[in-house]
A and B are shown apart, each in its own frame.
Chain A
Amino acid sequence: MNFFDVNCCLGTPPAETPYNFPDADALLREMDDVGIERAMVAHELARAFPVRGNQRLMRELAGHADRLLPSWMLNPNCMFAAAEAKDTLKQLDDNAVRMVRFPSMPPYAWAMAELLAGLEERRIALYFDLSPGQGLNHQPVPEPIWPALHELAVTRPRLRIVLFARKLSPHYMHVLGLLRSCPNVCLDLSAMQYWRATERLCGSVGPERLLFGSYMPIYHAAQFMIQILYARIPDEAKAKIAFGNLARLVGVTG
Chain B
Amino acid sequence: MTELKPFSRYGRRALRGERLTDIPIIDHHGHLGIEPGGLSLDAEVAEVIAVMDDNGVSRTAVFGFGPDTRDVNDLILRGVAQHPDRFIGYATLLMDSPGDVMKELERCRGAGMVGLKLHVAFEKEPYVSKRFKPVWEFCAQHRWPVIIHGMDERLPRENPDTVFIAAHGIESVLNEASVRTVRECPNYYWCTSATVMAMGAIEKAVSLFGADRLIFGSDVPLNNQATRLGSVLAARISDDAMRKILGGNIARLLGLTLRDSFPM
Which A residues lie at the B interface, using CB under 8 A?
Answer: 1, 15-20, 22, 29-30, 33-35, 136, 138, 166, 192-198, 200, 216-227, 229-232
B233 CB contact (under 8 Å) in A35, A136, A226: A226
CB-CB under 8 A for A227 and B227, given A20-B1, A195-B221, A200-B37: yes
Nearest-neighbor residue (CB-CB) of A238 within chain B: B17
A34 CB contact (under 8 Å) in B15, B204, B224, B226: B15
| A195–B37 alpha-carbon span in the complex (Å) | 8
CB-CB < 8 A to B1: which residues of A? 18-20, 22
Nearest-neighbor residue (CB-CB) of A35 within chain B: B15
Q: Judge whether A224 and B2 touch: CB under 8 Å.
A: no
CB-CB < 8 A to A20: which residues of B? 1
Q: Judge whether A226 and B198 touch: CB under 8 Å.
A: no
Nearest-neighbor residue (CB-CB) of B198 within chain A: A17
Residues 1 to 23 of chain B near chain A (Cβ within 8 Å): 1-2, 4, 7, 11, 14-17, 19
Q: Judge whether B4 and A223 touch: CB under 8 Å.
A: no
A44 to chain B, nearest CB (A): 14
Q: Judge whether B201 and A18 touch: CB under 8 Å.
A: yes
Residues of A contacting B: mostly: loop
B186 within 8 A of A: no
Known A220-B235, A222-B15; further 10 A-B contacts with Cβ < 8 A: A15-B198, A18-B2, A198-B224, A219-B197, A220-B197, A223-B228, A223-B234, A226-B14, A226-B229, A229-B17
B152 within 8 A of A: no
Q: Judge whether B4 and A30 touch: CB under 8 Å.
A: yes
B199 CB contact (under 8 Å) in A220, A225, A226, A227: A220
CB-CB under 8 A for A220 and B231, given A18-B198, A197-B224, A227-B224: yes
Q: How many A-B residue pairs have CB under 8 A?
A: 118
CB-CB under 8 A for A194 and B197, given A18-B1, A226-B227: no
B254 within 8 A of A: no
CB-CB < 8 A to A193: which residues of B? 223-224, 227-228
Nearest-neighbor residue (CB-CB) of B53 within chain A: A232
B112 within 8 A of A: no
A7 to chain B, nearest CB (A): 13
| A72–B167 alpha-carbon span in the complex (Å) | 38
CB-CB under 8 A for A138 and B15, given A193-B224, A224-B230, A226-B229: no
B231 to chain A, nearest CB (A): 4
| A52–B123 alpha-carbon span in the complex (Å) | 51
| A10–B229 alpha-carbon span in the complex (Å) | 26
B200 within 8 A of A: yes
CB-CB < 8 A to B196: which residues of A? 136, 138, 166
Using an 8 Å CB-CB cutoff, how does the interface string of B89-109 with A read, 1 for contact, 0 for none? Answer: 000000000000000000000
| A68–B203 alpha-carbon span in the complex (Å) | 27
A226 CB contact (under 8 Å) in B47, B221, B230: B230
CB-CB under 8 A for A226 and B36, given A19-B1, A33-B4, A136-B198: no
Q: Judge whether B198 and A223 touch: CB under 8 Å.
A: no
Nearest-neighbor residue (CB-CB) of A214 within chain B: B199
Using an 8 Å CB-CB cutoff, how does the interface string of B167-202 with A read, 1 for contact, 0 for none? Answer: 000000010000000000000000000011111110
Q: Can you name 22 A-B pairs with beta carbons within 8 Å? A: A17-B199, A18-B199, A18-B200, A20-B1, A22-B1, A35-B15, A193-B224, A195-B36, A195-B221, A195-B224, A196-B36, A198-B226, A219-B197, A219-B198, A220-B200, A220-B231, A222-B231, A222-B234, A223-B231, A223-B234, A224-B227, A230-B230
Q: Judge whether B224 and A19 touch: CB under 8 Å.
A: no
Residue among B51, B223, B230 facing the most chain A CB atoms (10 A cut-off): B230
B197 CB contact (under 8 Å) in A200, A223, A230: A223
B55 within 8 A of A: yes
| A192–B221 alpha-carbon span in the complex (Å) | 13
B54 within 8 A of A: yes
A191 to chain B, nearest CB (A): 11
| A166–B234 alpha-carbon span in the complex (Å) | 19
CB-CB < 8 A to A22: which residues of B? 1
The 6 A-B pairs at the shortest CB distance, nearest first, are namely: A226-B230, A18-B200, A222-B234, A223-B230, A230-B226, A229-B17
Residue among A15, A22, A220 facing the most chain B CB atoms (10 A cut-off): A220
B222 to chain A, nearest CB (A): 6
CB-CB < 8 A to B221: which residues of A? 195-196
